Amino acid sequence: MHVDTEPIRELRWNGSGASMSVMLSKTYTAHKAADVADDVARDAAEEVGSLAVSLTVIKWMVGFMLGLQVAAIAMLFQIALRLD
């Protein structure tokens, strides 16, 4: 059986407006294979999907900060070399 690993994006209407949720299909399929109710499996897959999106943002933030730190250290070395 082929399982799609791409996240499923779904537009839902909540009380304050429309929101886009990310649902991971592997998590959803695993819950459905374990005879979990459809709404519970969907909620679990969306929760894991939102965590995955948050981790992606954190990875980008850490990478950006590391780049800034490397640039700052390089500038400090340039200043130190010119002090002779």
pLDDT tens-digit map of 26-66: 777 887 888 888 888 888 878 887 777 788 889 999 999 99
Q: Does 65 fall in a domain? A: yes
Q: Which residue has better confidence, 49 or 23?
A: 49
Model confidence at 18: pLDDT above 50: no
Task: Return all residues near 24 (Cβ < 8 A) that are at least 6 apart.
Answer: 7, 8, 45, 48, 49, 52
Overall pTM surpassing 0.85 (yes/no): no
d(CA 77, CA 12): 52
Q: Does 24 fall in a domain? A: yes
Q: Which domain holds residue 28?
A: 7-82
Size (the chain), residues? 84
Tally of domains in the chain: 1
